[in-house]
Every structure is written in structure tokens, then in C-alpha cells.
Amino acid sequence: MFYIHKTSVISAQQTLSDNLSENLIQSSGNKLRASDAGINDVPLNLLRRMGRAVKLGIGTGMHVLKNTSVNGIIIGTGNGGLEDCIKFLNQIIDYDEGRLTPTNFVQSTTNAIAAQLGIMNHNTGYNITHVHRGLAFENALIDVGMLLKEHPANIYLTGGVDEISDYNYAIDFLTGSYKKEIINNKDLYQSDSAGTVAGEGAAMFIVSNTKHGALMKIDDIKTIHTNTLDQITSCLRSFLIQNSTLEDPVDLFLSGENGDFRLLPFYSACEKVLNENISVLRFKHMTGEFPSVSALALKLVCDGIQNGYFPEHMYKKRKSQLFNKVLIYNTYKGEQHSFIIASRA
């Protein structure tokens, strides 16, 4: 489909230029919060006015846009700046619909990240935000793929970003998305209870049709809405037939397993579809769970394959050290599912 040339990330484990490490930052209160301490590409007077999600998105976006001009900006997010949105709604009540400060409203709209990146970089090209819950980032990638078919010479910025907002955490906790007992993220996969740990972060990518100098290639993307195991495995089999051959097989599986026993059957079923000699990695003990977490998964793949190294704590099953083609599978709440195949450029 297209090639990745530059990447940037802010997560609980990595801040912009940090490499993958054996040292695992631990969760606190079942939350893995991203560290934004390393953002230095955004003026401080602008940074301090930004909401959490906007700060993460702008920080990663500006970092990867240095010395790069793009023709458009496509972002995926599940919730946007929800915390600032709640602040603005509370102000309506507090001030009796009087004179409200517009900052919280401006920072909370879901397109705020893409819009501000466009303004700060004087980019007047295609600018859009996909808000599709657990498939927001995947739809952003699909959009980029279609744009590059229409405009083969163009370059685009794409990525995913979400924050942990107290409001959304409370709602998801009540619906059983997060664990009731406090758990350390390093023990996430030994848990046999419902729920997982919350996460947040942002990952950005510069993409084009140019192979020269590329880090990775996005071969194909498939999404499906279902809660039926047979449909998932059938979808995966046909997806692999389209994108994997004996000469060019998938040799690494990055699983979105998250410690929720209710979702484990999906990941286990997909693992069984694959060749038993394929290595299996897991990543949500590093990132936590959030709608656009697959953006961080793709960034982890880019780093690991480029450096020829994945931390030991990511391995569920090791069959090889060097990898060329990766399958990323993620499900959001067992209803939205995505498969991404990426290969060494």
C-alpha cells in the first residue's frame, strides 16, 4: 500500500526519541500515563494552554514534521480531548451560560490536533480526523492509502492519539472495561479476571509511496465488526492468503492481548490460525488499553524491526530473532477488530 519514513511516539514507555527498553515503567492505580516531559518542539506558551490529548498529539506531530513538508494531515482518535470537553460543559453550568472561556472548547474538539498541526505548520492541504472508537487509527491508515492512490507523489502525516480522562475512565470502569482489583502491568497476562489497565499515548508517521529510505511498508489493513470467533478466524485466513506466500510469509504476530479473560479467546483463536513457528509478541503491558492503541503497536513494530531487537518482556513465544513481515491484531472491547500487515521496506 504505502511506506513509512519517519515515526514519533509519546507513551508510558517511550518519549519521542527513546528506544525500546528492558526497563518497564510500572502502572499506577491501573493506569499507564504517558510522559510528555520531553516535548521541546512546541513553544511553552502554547504548550501550557493545551489539553492532555492535544499536548500528546502536537508534541509527537511537531517532532516528526521537523524538516518535512506534507500534503495533508490525517489523525485517528477514539475520544479527542474529552477532559477539556467536560471542563467546558461544567463551565456552562458554573457560569449559567454566561461568558465562557473558549480555550477548553477549542482544545476539546476531536479535530483540534489535526487542525492545530495544520495551523502551526502553515499546511492548507487535506486535514481530517477519524473518530471511530477502536478503529479510528485503522480508518486513518485506510484513508491515507486511498489518498496515495489518487495522489501518488504526495506525502502525508498520519497517526493516532488518546488520553486517559477521569470522566471516560469512570464510565469504562463502570462498564467493566478496567480491572476492579489493582494490578501491576508486569503481571497483566497472568491475570484471569475481567478488565484491563487504562493507557494513553500518541504515535505519528510520515508516509508516502516512495520506497527509497523507508523504514517499513504497510502491506494491507482489514477491519471487521463482529463478536463471533468463526468470523474473525475466517477473516484472518482470507487476509493471510491475500498477503502471505511461502516465499514471503508472516513471521511475527503482535497480539493486542490485554489481560481481560473475556477477550483472550479472540487472540488465542487468531494465534492458532498462524503457523506454529511464528514468534508471538504482546504490548499492552507497555501501553495500556485505549481506542487508538494500534498506532503505538505499529510504532513498536517499526522500532523493533529497524533495531533488530524487541525487549524480552514482550515475548510470549520466540521462534526467531530477525523478522521481515508482521501481523498486528487488535480488538476493542471484543466488537471492533483490525488486522495490519507490515513488512521490512
Lowest pLDDT segment from 23-37, 86-100, 161-175: 86-100
- Which pTM value belongs to this model? 0.93
Give the domain-ending residue among 160, 187, 208: 208
Q: Tally Cβ neighbours within 10 Å of residue 149.
A: 11
Residue 254: exposure state from Cβ atoms within 10 A (0-12, 13-18, ≥19) = buried
Lowest pLDDT segment from 69-78, 129-138, 161-170, 193-202: 161-170
| 276 shares a domain with 236 | yes
pLDDT tens-digit series, residues 295-307: 999 999 999 999 9
pLDDT tens-digit series, residues 210-220: 999 999 999 99
| 227 shares a domain with 145 | no
Residue 187's alpha-carbon distances to 90, 164, 206, 331, in angstroms, are 38, 21, 34, 20
User: Which contiguous run of DSSP H or E holds residue 141?
Assistant: helix 136-150
171 and 111 Cβ atoms separated by less than 8 Å: no
Range of the domain at 284: 217-344
Give the domain-ending residue among 175, 208, 241: 208
327 and 274 Cβ atoms separated by less than 8 Å: yes
| pLDDT band at residue 2 using 50, 70 and 90 as cut-offs | very high
* Interatomic CA distance for residues 279 and 301, integer angstroms: 13
Rg (CA), the chain: 19
Assign residue 85 the CATH number of its domain. Answer: 3.40.47.10
- From the list 256, 298, 249, 294, the residue with the least C-alpha distance to 274 is 249
- Bridge-based pairing state of the strands 155-162 and 72-76: parallel
| 221 shares a domain with 194 | no
Q: Which amino acid, one-letter code, is at 38?
A: G
* Interatomic CA distance for residues 156 and 290, integer angstroms: 24
Higher pLDDT: 38 or 237? It is 237
Give the domain-ending residue among 208, 231, 248: 208
| 227 shares a domain with 200 | no
| 283 shares a domain with 202 | no
Higher pLDDT: 266 or 48? It is 266
Domain count along the chain? 2
Residue 66 has pLDDT above 90, yes or no: yes
* Interatomic CA distance for residues 288 and 65, integer angstroms: 26
| 225 shares a domain with 201 | no
Q: Which amino acid, one-letter code, is at 45?
A: N
| 78 shares a domain with 45 | yes
